[in-house]
Amino acid sequence: MPRIMNRREALKLAVAGGVATTLQACGSRLSHGAPINAETAPRFEAALPIPPVLEPARSDEHGDYYEVEARKSTAAILPGKHTTIWGYNGIFPGPTIKATRGRATHVRFTSKLQTPVVAHLHGGHTPPDSDGWPTDVIFPAGHQVPATSMAMGHMGQSGQMAEAPALKYEHNYTYPNDRRAATLWYHDHTMGATGHNVYMGLAGFYLVEDEEEGSLALPRGRYDIPLMLCARQFDHDGSLRFNPHGHAGTEGDVILVNGAAWPALQVERRKYRFRILNASNATTFTLALSSTLPFAQIATDGGLMARPVEVPRISMAMAERVEVVIDFSVYADGDSVVLRNTEKPGPLGEIMRFDITGPAVSDHSELPDHLSMIEALTPEAATRTRTFTFGPRPELKFHNPPIYWAINGERFDPEHAQANPLLGDVEIWRFVYEKSSWKQTHPPHVHLVNFQILDRNGQSPRVHERGWKDTLRLDSGDDVRVIMRFDGYRGRYLMHCHNLEHEDYDMMMRFDVV
């Protein structure tokens, strides 16, 4: 009996076609020369790039209007090489979008890529039609989907033709920005292809500012710097090599910060604020400074913490953000400090370098004792607890490396909600990763809400995760409870693992706020 293909599989097929084409193109451009990897790529030579801030096309009393186009272009990621990337407005990282709490951002999103794409604002409190549903994709203007690639025939035979997606050439996203100041990011979220699309470069910062934060004397302007960390692999000629290792996840042997391999930043002898994002597909980091001085951490995913905390190490699963203040006035002219990843030995254990230069300068910025008010959500407020287990698909458990992933044993089904929280309700969600021999982290991420971690394996959350969060680290054997209020919008949303290949291979679920 012929297998019935549903829409999601048809879309995945179409997307897979796009991926195959890209990879072939990469393969045929292979040239000779030393392989590019941790041993051969130069470290701390490139200056840290800072992504440009996007100017609105226009503004009115309803907010600011931006134009963002996904397209192919080239980037100077490695010295002397040109790398083909997919970038928002042709750059990687994409342009930074700055928003102010209470003032809406409108993004008209178009694409020139010959593959479906959809954009999502990670960490946003966003109405469902602007949240970037994985099948709510757009194509380049005028694009006709070839019957074979879209597998329309299959859908017709299966009787699902009526549901075939209508082609869209743009999407207008509205982000109300009604939540507190925070470091968010936007990235691709296409069904079955998020890993590949983000890997090619479709990710950018989205910074929300508000009055509470603005009233503090934190370092600002050119002393407030976003750092997008990710791992990538390259072919000899500098082209990106996408190797998801089955469905395990695409790791890398070159570390990029803001799209440059192992860059360096010249810093003055004063305080800086760094907004750090782990935008990797499948690579975790544990940050530390080579000087062994601790970080002063000021923010988590959802913005400022109650007060700064001193932490010697900060673990970052994929999609997590932390903000730190580093005071370089304690160093001398000519000193260098390396931002390290203590999870890896050798070059992969290093991320970037700060080169301290110049005389002592006057610094009017401050690290206040108190940063923000955080309303603690308490378990008594919760109407229910739901438990979600993260693991391989039960019937495929013994594959190594694993193929296909599941939440509570179920694959992602865009038509089926696995949870239906009531609008306004507070719920506790418990994330469980049963001990397994496969040690990869599964970072759960919940759309729409910010949550607080109640406990981690029966203990208090780690110091660096005591604040508003939307993503958390879940390692083998972990059992973590979070609490959150489902407010703002009714409709369909996602919860998923933020290892992008796990997400693409079904470790994702729909929940409906009703």
Query: Given the rule CB under 5 A, which residues bind Cu ion?
Result: 442, 497, 499, 502, 507
Which regions of 426-507 does DSSP assign to beta strands (E)?
426-432, 444-446, 451-456, 479-485, 491-497
Residue 260 or residue 319: which is nearer to ligand C2O going by CB?
319
494 binds ligand C2O (CB under 6 A): yes
Binding segment toward ligand C2O, per CB under 6 A, in 83-91, 289-297, 368-376, 492-500: 492-500
Nearest approach in angstroms of CB 319 to ligand C2O is 5
Sign of the alpha-carbon torsion through 13, 19, 21, 27 = negative
Binding segment toward ligand C2O, per CB under 6 A, in 89-97, 235-243, 395-403, 491-499: 491-499
Question: Using CB under 6 A, which of 8, 12, 81, 447 touches ligand C2O?
Answer: 447
Residue 123 or residue 308: which is nearer to ligand C2O going by CB?
123
Question: Cα(302)–Cα(317) distance, rounded to whole angstroms?
Answer: 15
* Tokens 């890529």 sit on residue: 113
351 binds ligand C2O (CB under 6 A): no
344 binds ligand C2O (CB under 6 A): no
Is the separation of the CB atoms in 18 and 193 below 8 Å?
Answer: yes
Nearest approach in angstroms of CB 420 to ligand C2O is 19
Residue 128 or residue 368: which is nearer to ligand C2O going by CB?
128
Question: Cα(472)–Cα(483) distance, rounded to whole angstroms?
Answer: 12
Is the separation of the CB atoms in 120 and 188 below 8 Å?
Answer: yes
Name the phi and psi angles at 100, rounded to 5.
-115, 135
Question: Using CB under 6 A, which of 77, 319, 374, 377 touches ligand C2O?
Answer: 319
Is the separation of the CB atoms in 256 and 285 below 8 Å?
Answer: no
Residue nearest to ligand C2O (CB): 122
Question: Cα(204)–Cα(188) distance, rounded to whole angstroms?
Answer: 10
445 binds ligand C2O (CB under 6 A): yes
Nearest approach in angstroms of CB 10 to Cu ion is 24
Closest listed residue to residue 236, CA positions, set 20, 91, 19, 41? 41
Site for ligand C2O in 165-204 (CB under 6 A): 187, 189
For 345, residues 6+ apart whose C-beta sits below 8 A from its C-beta are none
Nearest approach in angstroms of CB 471 to ligand C2O is 7
Residue 239 or residue 280: which is nearer to ligand C2O going by CB?
280
Nearest approach in angstroms of CB 247 to ligand C2O is 17
Alpha-carbon distances, residue 173 vs 66, 176, 514 (angstroms): 10, 10, 22
For residue 417, what are its two tokens?
A: 């909600």
473 binds ligand C2O (CB under 6 A): no
For 286, residues 6+ apart whose C-beta sits below 8 A from its C-beta are 313, 314, 315, 316, 341, 342, 343
Residue ranges in contact with ligand C2O by CB under 6 A: 120, 122, 187, 189, 319, 445, 447, 494, 496, 498
